[in-house]
C-alpha cells in the first residue's frame, strides 16, 4: 500500500542512483537506432546550480527522456568548462589567505594547486544536476582541460594559424588591470557612470596667448596625449591644422590634425588624442601617424614614459594630480557633470583600460561567413525564430576575436619564439624545434608563449571535441555529429553559439546542430534579474528540498513559453507540488481498487463507453504532447498532461469508475479495472519526461517494478483509431448534466448531502438512453435519488437547460423563488446578448457574402440554439412567476 503522501526527498536519490547503476543514461544501447544528441552547455567548473541552469537542463532532460523512450540512441553529452579567469581567481584567493602569491609559487606549482582544487571542490554543479534528475551520460563526462579536448584545441589553433585565420597583432585590447590580462569585447560591461567632463587649455606652439580647449572625462590620459584633432572643415580651427600645441605637463609637441572624427558640434570641437589609450584615438592616430605613448603599467599605474612626478601613481591618483597641475598653470577651464559609459571587466569588476599589446586574434570575419550561410540556408534554425536576427546582427558586424589571455590556467598557446622573435606555431615542442631548425638551418633555443587561450575557444569546439575529435572513434563522431538541438539562453548566443557555428562549419564542414532552442531568462517574481547583490536569488536546490525536483521541473516547464521571460513565484512551485500529490493519490486509488499498471490490456477491446472515452482522451493527450515537444512548445506539453491527469482522469474518470468498480456487472468491473490500470500506465509514461522521479516510484511500486524501469521503457504508441467520437459525445453529455445540476444546487444553497428526485423532459431518444445507461454515476455525482422521463413536474420547480432538453428539479418549497427568478433572468439576459450579437452578424450582407460558408452556418446554428434556449428559459421563468 502506498503511503498517504508522496515524500520526494526519500525517493529521488534512490531512483537516480538506480538509473545510474543500471547504465540507463548511456548511449549506444540501441544498435541500429538513429542517434539523438544534445551537448550540454558546459557549466563553469566553479559554478553552482542557479535557476537558469535548472530551466536549461530540465528542458534538455525532457527532450532526452522523450526520445529515449521513443527508442532512439540517445546521447546527452555532459561536461564542464575550465573557466580560466574565474577558476584562477578562486584558487589565487585561497592561496592569498595562506599568504602565498601565485608568482612566488611559479606556474607549474600553481597549476598543480588548481587541479587539486578542481578535484576537491570543482564541479559541485554536477551533483546538483543529478538532483534535478538530469539523465546525462556521465560515463562520457568531459572537461575542456582534459587531454582529449586539449588536443583538439591545439590542432584547431595550429590549423587556423597555418591557414592564416589565427594571427598575432599589436592593437588596443580591453585590458583588465586587476586581473592583468586581455579580455574580449564580450567580456566588457558598459556601465553608465556619473563623472565629469574636464576642460583644459593646450597652448598653441609659437602663438603667444593662443590655445585650444579640449575636453576629457579621463584627465590622467593627458599624459599620453600626442595630438589634437579638429574637423577639417571647421572654420575656427582650419588654420591650425599642421601646427602643434605644446603639452604643458609632458612637454610633448601635440600635432594638430584634421579628421572627421572631431565633431564640431561636440564640446569645443577640438579633441585631444591619446592613441595608445582610446579606441577612437587609436584609429585617428593611425590615420595621421601620431605617436603612441603607453603611459600605464599592466596594473594601470603611471609608467616611466610620463614625467617623473607621476610615475607609480595609480590612474585615479594621477587624475587628481593632472587636474591640480593644470589648474596651477591656469590651464584648467571648467568641469561639468557628465554621465558617460565606463567599461568594466565582467570578472574583475574594475574599469578596463584600452591597452596596446601583442595578442593573438582569430579572424572571425572569415570564419563567420559559412556560419552565416548555415543559418541563411536553414540548415540551422533558431527557435523562436526572432533570435536569428540577433545572431545575424552579431555575425555581420563581427570583430577580430582576441583569444590570448595573460593567465596560467588554460590551454597554453602552442607558439614558440626563436632568438630573433620568429614564431613557430606547432602542436608540440618537438615539432616547433624541428620547424625552427628548418628555418634557421641549425638547432636553436625556443621560448614558448606564456599566454593561454580564452576559455570560449575550447568551448567553441564542444560539439565535436567531446565526441573524441580529432582522434579515436570516428564512428562516434559520424553517428552523433551534427548534434540535434542546442538548448541555451540568449545571453550566450554571441559567446558560445556563434563560435560553435564558426568552428563547427570550419572543421567539420557541417553545422553543429540543426536547431538552436533559445529559452527564457528566469527572473524573480517582480521581473528583476536574479542577482546576488539584489538578494533576490531563488536557489533551485532549496525548492527541490521543499517541493521535490519534479515540482520544480514541472513549474519551469509549464512556464517555458517561447520568447518570454519566466517570472518565478514560489506559489507556482507549490501548485505543481500539489499536482504531484494529486497524481500520487490517484495512483493510490488505483492500487486500492486493484487497477494496476503493467498488466495485459488491449484498449481496442474495451466495450464500456466510459472506458472507450478515457482511452480516446489519453490518445489525444499523447499526440498533443508529441506535437508540442516536436515544436519545442514545452508549456503546451506540460499543460496538456496536467489537464488530462487532473481535469479529466482525476476529476471525472476516477469518480465515474467507482460505481462500476463496486457494482454487480462482473464483466464491466473487470474491464474497468484493467482499463484504469492501463490509463495509469499511460499517464506514468507520458509524465515521465517531465516528472521522472514520482513516475518511476509509482511504476516501481505498482507497475513492473525496478527490473523494468520506466526510464528505458517505450513511449506510448496510441493511434487515432482509439479515439471514439461517439463515446466522447456521450460522456461529455453526462459531464455537463452533472455540472449543471451541481451548479444549480450550489446556487440554490441545497445542502450537498441531500438527495432529490429529477425529471428529464423534452430529451431525444439518444439522451434518454444516456441517462438510463449512466444513471448510477449521474445519481451519485449529482446527488439525485430518482428520475422520471417526460413527467409532469410540480409547480415552482427549477428547470435547467441541458442541450435541447430540460432537467427539472422539483424544489418547490425548498428554494427561494425570488432567487430562481433572478437566475433565470440572468440567463435570459445572457442569451439575449448572444442573440443580438449573432443577429447583427447575420444581417450584415458583407458577412453573408464574404465569410466562409462554415462560419456562416456555424453562426446560424448558434443563433437557433440560443433562441431555443432563450424560449425555454422564458417558459421556465413564466412558470416560476406563476408559482410566486
Residues 742-761 close enough to bind RNA by CB under 7 A: 742-743, 746-747, 751-753
User: CB-hemisphere CA count at 13 Å for 827?
Assistant: 23
Determine if 564 is a binding residue for RNA (CB under 7 A): yes
Return the half-sphere exposure (C-beta side, CA atoms, 13 A cut-off) of residue 196.
12
The backbone region for 164, taken as left when phi is positive above 0, alpha when psi lies in -120 to 50, beta otherwise, is left
Site for RNA in 70-99 (CB under 7 A): none
Residue 190 is a binding residue for RNA (CB under 7 A): yes
User: Is 168:359 a contact under the CB 8 Å cutoff?
Assistant: yes
Spatial contact of 337 and 194, defined as CB atoms under 8 Å apart: yes
In the region spanning residues 437 to 496, those forming contacts with RNA, defined by CB under 7 A, are 491, 494
What is the number of other CB atoms lying within 10 angstroms of the CB of residue 531? Answer: 10
* Contacting residue, 210, 433, 569, 788, with RNA by CB under 7 A: 569
Which one of the spans 80-88, 210-218, 554-562, 686-694 is the region binding RNA (CB under 7 A)?
554-562
The least distance separating RNA from the CB of residue 777, rounded to whole angstroms, comes to 13
Proportion of the chain in helix, strand, coil states, percent, rounded to 5 = 50, 20, 30
Please check whether residue 131 is in contact with residue 549, taking contact to mean a CB–CB distance below 8 angstroms.
yes
Binding mask 282-321 for RNA (x = CB under 7 A): ----------------------------------------
Q: How far is CA 343 from CA 197, 348, 350, 385, 493, in A?
A: 17, 12, 8, 31, 21
Positions 379 through 408 that interact with RNA (CB under 7 A) = 386, 389-390, 393
Can you tell me which of 636, 696, 724, 799 binds RNA, judged by CB under 7 A? 636
Q: Which is nearer to RNA, 29 or 386 (CB)?
A: 386
How far is Cα of residue 874 from the mean position of the Cα atoms in its chain?
Answer: 55
Q: Quickly tell me which residue has 445507461 as its cell.
A: 773
* Least CB distance to RNA at residue 179 (A): 19
Per CB under 7 A, contacts with RNA among 570-599 are 571-572, 575, 577-578, 581-582, 585-586, 588-589, 592-593
852 binds RNA (CB under 7 A): yes
Contact partners, residue 321, CB within 8 Å, separation at least 6: 309, 310, 313
Q: Which stretch binds RNA (CB under 7 A): 356-364, 409-417, 642-650, 767-775?
A: 642-650
Closest by CA position to 585, among listed 651, 535, 674, 670: 651
14-22, 98-106, 321-329, 555-563 -> range binding RNA (CB under 7 A) = 555-563
Q: How far is the CB of 841 from RNA (least distance, A)?
A: 7
Q: Residue 635 CB, nearest distance to RNA (Å)?
A: 6
Question: For residues 746 and 610, what is the distance between their CA atoms, to the nearest angstrom?
Answer: 26
DSSP per-residue string spanning 752-769: TT--EEEEEES--HHHHH
Contact between 185 and RNA per CB under 7 A: yes
Q: Does 538 bind RNA (CB under 7 A)?
A: no
Q: Which is nearer to RNA, 327 or 818 (CB)?
A: 818
Q: How many residues bind to RNA according to rule CB under 7 A?
A: 72
Report CA-CA distances (Å) from 152 to 143, 379, 468.
12, 25, 9
211 contacts RNA (rule: CB under 7 A): no
832 counts as binding RNA under rule CB under 7 A = no
Q: Sort 60 into a burial class: Cβ within 10 Å, 0-12 / 13-18 / 19+.
A: buried
Strands 415-417 and 211-216: unpaired
Distances (CA, A) of 454 to 41, 115, 178: 17, 18, 17
Distance of CA 671 to the CA centre of its chain: 44
Smallest gap from Cβ 627 to RNA, in A, equals 12
Q: Which residues of 351-364 are buried (b: 16+ CB within 10 A; e: fewer)?
A: bbbbbbbebbbbbb
Q: Which of 273, 486, 530, 566 binds RNA (CB under 7 A)?
A: 566
Nearest CA among 557, 485, 567 for reference residue 518: 485
623 touching RNA, by CB under 7 A: no
Residue from 444, 851, 860, 867 in contact with RNA (CB under 7 A): 851
Q: Interface with RNA includes 860 (CB under 7 A)?
A: no
Nearer to RNA by Cβ, of 387 and 408: the residue is 387
Cβ at position 738, least distance to RNA in Å = 7
Which of these ranges, 143-151, 354-362, 371-379, 560-568, lies near RNA under the rule CB under 7 A?
Answer: 560-568
Q: Please tell me whether residue 561 binds RNA under the rule CB under 7 A.
A: yes
- Tell me whether residue 211 or residue 394 sits nearer to RNA (CB atom): 394
858: helix, coil or strand? helix
Q: Identify the residue among 179, 395, 559, 683 touching RNA (CB under 7 A).
A: 559
Residue 298's H or E segment, with its range, is none
Which is nearest to 629 in space by CA: 689, 696, 683, 714? 689
The least CB distance from residue 643 to RNA, in Å, is 7
CB of 863 to RNA, least distance (A): 9
Of these, 120, 265, 846, 882, which contacts RNA (CB under 7 A)? 846
Judged by CB, which is closer to RNA: 569, or 817? 569
Of 571 and 725, which CB lies nearer to RNA in the complex structure? 571
Q: Which is nearer to RNA, 445 or 491 (CB)?
A: 491
CA angle 681, 588, 697 (to 5 degrees): 60
**Chosen residue from 261, 417, 646, 775 binding RNA by CB under 7 A:** 646
206 near 256, Cβ under 8 Å?
no
CB of 822 to RNA, least distance (A): 12
Q: Which parts of 782-811 interact with RNA (CB under 7 A)?
A: 783
532 known member of a binding site: yes
Q: Which of 102, 658, 821, 860 lies at the binding interface for RNA (CB under 7 A)? A: 658
Choices 222-230, 431-439, 441-449, 861-869; region in contact with RNA by CB under 7 A: 861-869
Side-by-side strand order, sheet with 270-273: 244-246, 253-258, 227-230, 270-273
Chain centre distance of CA 231? 48
Of residues 705-744, those binding RNA (CB under 7 A): 739, 742-743
Of positions 46, 221, 412, 635, contacts RNA by CB under 7 A: 635
For RNA, the closer of residues 77 and 558 by Cβ is 558
Q: Which is nearer to RNA, 141 or 185 (CB)?
A: 185
Sheet containing strand 381-383, strands side by side: 381-383, 513-519, 483-489
| 117 φ, ψ (degrees, to nearest 5) | -60, -45
What does the per-residue mask of binding to RNA show for 322-361, with x meaning CB under 7 A?
Answer: -------------------x--------------------
Instruction: Measure the CA–CA gap between 54 and 400, rounded to whole angstroms.
Output: 34
Q: Does 553 engage in binding with RNA (CB under 7 A)?
A: no
**Which CB sits closer to RNA, 443 or 857?**
857
How far apart (Å, rounded) are the C-alpha atoms in residues 409 and 115? 10
Residue 499 binds RNA, judged by CB under 7 A: no
If the CB atoms of residues 121 and 743 are measured against RNA, the closer one turns out to be 743
Compute the half-sphere exposure of residue 367: CA atoms within 13 Å on the CB side of its CA. Answer: 29
Task: Name residues contacting RNA, limited to 506-535 (CB under 7 A).
Answer: 523, 525-527, 529
Find how far residue 512's CA is from the centre of its chain: 19
x/- mask, RNA, residues 95-134, rule CB under 7 A, reads ----------------------------------------
CA-nearest of 661, 686, 663, 639 to 589 is: 661
Cite the annotated binding site for ATP by residue number.
Answer: 532
Q: Which residues are annotated binding-site positions?
A: 532
Amino acid at each position: 500500500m502506498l503511503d498517504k503522501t508522496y515524500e520526494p526527498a526519500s525517493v529521488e536519490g534512490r531512483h537516480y542512483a538506480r538509473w545510474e547503476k543500471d547504465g540507463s543514461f548511456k548511449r549506444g544501447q540501441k544498435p541500429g537506432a538513429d542517434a539523438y544528441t544534445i551537448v550540454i552547455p558546459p557549466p563553469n567548473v566553479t559554478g553552482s546550480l542557479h535557476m537558469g541552469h535548472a530551466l536549461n537542463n530540465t528542458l534538455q532532460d525532457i527532450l532526452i527522456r522523450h526520445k529515449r523512450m521513443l527508442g532512439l540512441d540517445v546521447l546527452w553529452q555532459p561536461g564542464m568548462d575550465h573557466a580560466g579567469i574565474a577558476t584562477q581567481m578562486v584558487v589565487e584567493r585561497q592561496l592569498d589567505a595562506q599568504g602565498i602569491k601565485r608568482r612566488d609559487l611559479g606556474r607549474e606549482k600553481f597549476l598543480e594547486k588548481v587541479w587539486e582544487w578542481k578535484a576537491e571542490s570543482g564541479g559541485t554543479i554536477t551533483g546538483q544536476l543529478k538532483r534535478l534528475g538530469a539523465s546525462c551520460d556521465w560515463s562520457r563526462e568531459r572537461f575542456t582541460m582534459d587531454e582529449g579536448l586539449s588536443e583538439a584545441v591545439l590542432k584547431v589553433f595550429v590549423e587556423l594559424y597555418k591557414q592564416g585565420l589565427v594571427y598575432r597583432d599589436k592593437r588596443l585590447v580591453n585590458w583588465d588591470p586587476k586581473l592583468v590580462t586581455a579580455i574580449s569585447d564580450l567580456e566588457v560591461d558598459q556601465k553608465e557612470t556619473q563623472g565629469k567632463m574636464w576642460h583644459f587649455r593646450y597652448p598653441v606652439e609659437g602663438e603667444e596667448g593662443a590655445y585650444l580647449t579640449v575636453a576629457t572625462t579621463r584627465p590622467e590620459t593627458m599624459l599620453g596625449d600626442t595630438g589634437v584633432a579638429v574637423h577639417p572643415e571647421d572654420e575656427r580651427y582650419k588654420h591650425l591644422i599642421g601646427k602643434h600645441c605644446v603639452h604643458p605637463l609632458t612637454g610633448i609637441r601635440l600635432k594638430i590634425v584634421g579628421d572627421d572624427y572631431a565633431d564640431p558640434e561636440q564640446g569645443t570641437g577640438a579633441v585631444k588624442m591619446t592613441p595608445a589609450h582610446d579606441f577612437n584615438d587609436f584609429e585617428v592616430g593611425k590615420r595621421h601617424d601620431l605617436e603612441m605613448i603607453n603611459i600605464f603599467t599592466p596594473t594601470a599605474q603611471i609608467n616611466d614614459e610620463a614625467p617623473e612626478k607621476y610615475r607609480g601613481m595609480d590612474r585615479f591618483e594621477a587624475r587628481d594630480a593632472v587636474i591640480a597641475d593644470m589648474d596651477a598653470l591656469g590651464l584648467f577651464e571648467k568641469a561639468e557633470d557628465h554621465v558617460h559609459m565606463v567599461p568594466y571587466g565582467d570578472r574583475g569588476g574594475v574599469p578596463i583600460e584600452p591597452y596596446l599589446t601583442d595578442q593573438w586574434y582569430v579572424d572571425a570575419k572569415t570564419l563567420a561567413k559559412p556560419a552565416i550561410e548555415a543559418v541563411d540556408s536553414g540548415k540551422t534554425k533558431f527557435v523562436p525564430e526572432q533570435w536569428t536576427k540577433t545572431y545575424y546582427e552579431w555575425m555581420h558586424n563581427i570583430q577580430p576575436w582576441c583569444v590570448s589571455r595573460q593567465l596560467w590556467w588554460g590551454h597554453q598557446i602552442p607558439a614558440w619564439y626563436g632568438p630573433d622573435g620568429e614564431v613557430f606555431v606547432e602542436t608540440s615542442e618537438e615539432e616547433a624545434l624541428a620547424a625552427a631548425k628548418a628555418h634557421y638551418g641549425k638547432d636553436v633555443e625556443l621560448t614558448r608563449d606564456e599566454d593561454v587561450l580564452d576559455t570560449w575557444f575550447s568551448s567553441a569546439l564542444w560539439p565535436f571535441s567531446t565526441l573524441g575529435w580529432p582522434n579515436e572513434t570516428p564512428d562516434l563522431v559520424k553517428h552523433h555529429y551534427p548534434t540535434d538541438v542546442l538548448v541555451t539562453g540568449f545571453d550566450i548566443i554571441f559567446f558560445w553559439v556563434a563560435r560553435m557555428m564558426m568552428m563547427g562549419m570550419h572543421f567539420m564542414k557541417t553545422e553543429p546542430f540543426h536547431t538552436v532552442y533559445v529559452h527564457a531568462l528566469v527572473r524573480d517574481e517582480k521581473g528583476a534579474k536574479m542577482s546576488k547583490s539584489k538578494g533576490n536569488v531563488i536557489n533551485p536546490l532549496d525548492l527541490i528540498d521543499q517541493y521535490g525536483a519534479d515540482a520544480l521541473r514541472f513549474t519551469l516547464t509549464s512556464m517555458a513559453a517561447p520568447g518570454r521571460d519566466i517570472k518565478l513565484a514560489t506559489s507556482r512551485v507549490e501548485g505543481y507540488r500539489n499536482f504531484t500529490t494529486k497524481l500520487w493519490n490517484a495512483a493510490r486509488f488505483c492500487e486500492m481498487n486493484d487497477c494496476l499498471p503493467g498488466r495485459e490490456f488491449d484498449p481496442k477491446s474495451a466495450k464500456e463507453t466510459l472506458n472507450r472515452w478515457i482511452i480516446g482522451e489519453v490518445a489525444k493527450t499523447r499526440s498533443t504532447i508529441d506535437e508540442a515537444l516536436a515544436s519545442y512548445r514545452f508549456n503546451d506539453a506540460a499543460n496538456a498532461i496536467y489537464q488530462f491527469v487532473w481535469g479529466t482522469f482525476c476529476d471525472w474518470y476516477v469518480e465515474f469508475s467507482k460505481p462500476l468498480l463496486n457494482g454487480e456487472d462482473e464483466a464491466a468491473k473487470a474491464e474497468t479495472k484493467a482499463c484504469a490500470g492501463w490509463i495509469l500506465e499511460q499517464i506514468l509514461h507520458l509524465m515521465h519526461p517531465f516528472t521522472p522521479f514520482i513516475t518511476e516510484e509509482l511504476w516501481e511500486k505498482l507497475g513492473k517494478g525496478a527490473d523494468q524501469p520506466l526510464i528505458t521503457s517505450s513511449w506510448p504508441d496510441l493511434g487515432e483509431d482509439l479515439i471514439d467520437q461517439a463515446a466522447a459525445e456521450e460522456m461529455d453529455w453526462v459531464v455537463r448534466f452533472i455540472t449543471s445540476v451541481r451548479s444549480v444546487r450550489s446556487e440554490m444553497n441545497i445542502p450537498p448531502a441531500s438527495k432529490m428526485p429529477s425529471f428529464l423532459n423534452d430529451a431525444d431518444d439518444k439522451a434518454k438512453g444516456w441517462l438510463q445507461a449512466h444513471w448510477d454515476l449521474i445519481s451519485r455525482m449529482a446527488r439525485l435519488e430518482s428520475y422520471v422521463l417526460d413527467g409532469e413536474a410540480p409547480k415552482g420547480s427549477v428547470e435547467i437547460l441541458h442541450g435541447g432538453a430540460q432537467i427539472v428539479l422539483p424544489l418547490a418549497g425548498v428554494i427561494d423563488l425570488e432567487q430562481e427568478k433572478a437566475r433565470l433572468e440572468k440567463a435570459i439576459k445572457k442569451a439575449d446578448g448572444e442573440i443580438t450579437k449573432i443577429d447583427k452578424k447575420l444581417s450584415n450582407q458583407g458577412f453573408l457574402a464574404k465569410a466562409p460558408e462554415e462560419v456562416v452556418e456555424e453562426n446560424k446554428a448558434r443563433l437557433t440554439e440560443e433562441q431555443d434556449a432563450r424560449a425555454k428559459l422564458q417558459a421556465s421563468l413564466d412558470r416560476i412567476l406563476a408559482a410566486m
